[in-house]
Amino acid sequence: MRAAGGWLLAALAAWASTGAEIRIAYFGPAEPEHPLGGSVWQGVALAAEENVAGPPVRLIAIWDENPWTGGAGKLAKLIYQERTVALIGGIDGTSTHLAEQIVAKALLPQVDPASTDRTVNAAFVPWIFSVMPDDRNLMRVLVDGVLAGPGRQSALLISSTDHDSRIMRREFFLAADRRLRLRRAVEFSSAATVAAAIRDLEAEAVIVLAGPVDSAAAVRELRRLRGGLTIYCGPAAGSRTFLELAGEAAEGVLFPDPLEPSERAQDFARRFAARWGEPPDYLASHAYDAAALLIEAVRRAGPDREAIRDALRALSPWSGVSGRIEWDKLGRNTRKGRLSMIQNGRPQPYN
C-alpha cells in the first residue's frame, strides 16, 4: 500500500481545516420509498449522517430509471464535473456493472453495496470493492438447505430472466452439481407461469430465483395453489420490497441470508428504526457498511483517489453491521451467508 507522505498529511490537514466537503457520488435513487433502491439509500444516508467527525460529507446522488441510456451519461458527467473522490453504487448487478465501466476509466474507487454478482469483480478492476457475499457462496447455502429439507427429491425451480437472476441460476446449478434432483426448471414471466409449472407436478419444494417483485408474485401464487409447499428463495426474500409485496405468503420461506447476527447489528437496527420508522433489511445494512467504510477510507487517505483505494483495502477485515467484511484478492467480501426463514414477517436464523 502506498504510504501517505508528509506532503499528503499536510494537505489533508489543510483541507480539513478549511471545512472543505468530501464529495462522494452515489449511483442510485435518493428516495427512501423507491421499490428497489430505497433501502440502499436509507443505509447510505444514515451512515453519512452518523459519521460526522472531520470534514463534512456530501453525497451527490444521480440516477435514471433506465441506467444504460440515461444513467451512464449522468454518472460520467457527475464524476468528471463535481470533483467526487469516490463512488457508492449501484443498486443491483446491472447498475453496478455500468458504474464499474465508468470508474475503471476515471480511476475512481467504487464501493458496491448491493450486488451479489461475482462477475462484477471478475473484470480485475482494482478500484471496486463489493461488501455483499457473492452468488456462489449464497447458492451453496441454498442448495445445502434444500438438500437438508423435505423436498430434496422432488423440487421445482422457477427463475426470472433478468441479469441478476440468470447469474444466480447459473451459480445454483454449479452448487447443485448432481447432488440435487429437480423435477422441472422453468422461467418466470407471470403468475400463470407458476400455475402451469406446478399443475399435475408432484413437487414438495419449489425454489424461486428472482428479484423481490417477481419472487413475491411467484410465492403468492404458490401459496394460493399449494399452501403446504416448502418454498426457497434467493436473497431477495430478505428485502423490504419482497416482505411488503408477499405479505402473509412470505411466512415460512427459506432463503440464503447475507447477514450475520450480532450485537452490532441489533444496535444498528435500533438506530435505523429511530431514523426511518422501520427495521433495516439486508440491503440497508450492507449499504450502511459500504458508506461507513468509504467515509473512513477518505478521512484516512485524504482527497486522493489512489490513496482512498489503498485505504479501503487496508481497512479489511472490517466489523460491520452486516457482519465481517474481508476482501478477497479481487475486492469481494468473503463472507458465506447462512440460511434464514421468514417468521412473523421478519427474517430469522434457521437451524
- Residue-wise pLDDT tens digits, 298-338: 989 988 999 999 999 999 999 999 999 999 999 999 999 99
Q: 114 and 73, same structural domain?
A: yes
Q: 145 and 77, same structural domain?
A: no
- For residue 206, being part of any structural domain is answered with yes
Which of residues 225, 241, 257 is at a domain's end?
A: 257
How many Cβ atoms are within 10 Å of 19's Cβ, its own excluded? 9
pLDDT for 153 beyond 70: yes
In the structure, what pLDDT confidence band is assigned to residue 284 with cuts at 50, 70 and 90? Answer: very high
- For residue 333, being part of any structural domain is answered with no
CATH number for 211? 3.40.50.2300
Amino acid at 77: K
- Residue-wise pLDDT tens digits, 28-59: 999 999 999 999 999 999 999 998 777 788 99
Q: 203 and 152, same structural domain?
A: yes
- For residue 343, being part of any structural domain is answered with no
Dist. CA 286–CA 114, nearest whole Å:
7
In the structure, what pLDDT confidence band is assigned to residue 19 with cuts at 50, 70 and 90? Answer: low
105, 86 contact by CB (below 8 A) = no
84, 78 contact by CB (below 8 A) = yes
Q: Residue 8: its pLDDT value, please?
A: 41
Which of residues 212, 235, 257 is at a domain's end?
A: 257
**Mean pLDDT computed over every residue of the chain:** 91
- For residue 331, being part of any structural domain is answered with no
Average pLDDT over residues 162-185: 92
- For residue 350, being part of any structural domain is answered with no
Q: Phi-psi region for residue 111, left (φ > 0), alpha (ψ -120 to 50) or beta?
A: beta
- Give rounded-to-5 percent helix, strand, coil for the chain: 45, 20, 35
How many Cβ atoms are within 10 Å of 247's Cβ, its own excluded? 13
In the structure, what pLDDT confidence band is assigned to residue 11 with cuts at 50, 70 and 90? Answer: very low
- Residue-wise pLDDT tens digits, 222-237: 999 988 899 999 999 9
Dist. CA 311–CA 293, nearest whole Å:
9
47, 109 contact by CB (below 8 A) = no
Which residue would you say has higher pLDDT here, 239 or 51? 239
Which residue would you say has higher pLDDT here, 5 or 134? 134
- For residue 348, being part of any structural domain is answered with no
Q: 125 and 160, same structural domain?
A: no
Q: 13 and 129, same structural domain?
A: yes
Please state the pTM of the whole predicted model: 0.93
Q: 183 and 142, same structural domain?
A: yes
Q: 266 and 203, same structural domain?
A: no
Q: 169 and 114, same structural domain?
A: no
Which pairing describes strands 86-89 and 22-27: parallel, antiparallel, or unpaired?
parallel
Count of the separate structural domains present in the chain: 2
Q: 129 and 141, same structural domain?
A: no
Q: 100 and 213, same structural domain?
A: no
How many Cβ atoms are within 10 Å of 213's Cβ, its own excluded? 17
Q: What percent of the chain has pLDDT over 90?
A: 75
- Residue-wise pLDDT tens digits, 58-106: 999 999 999 888 888 999 999 999 889 999 999 999 999 999 999 999 9
Q: 228 and 143, same structural domain?
A: yes
Which residue segment(s) compose the domain that 63 sits in?
6-133+262-325
Q: Residue 218: its pLDDT value, please?
A: 95
pLDDT for 5 beyond 70: no
Q: 140 and 129, same structural domain?
A: no
Which residue would you say has higher pLDDT here, 269 or 200? 269
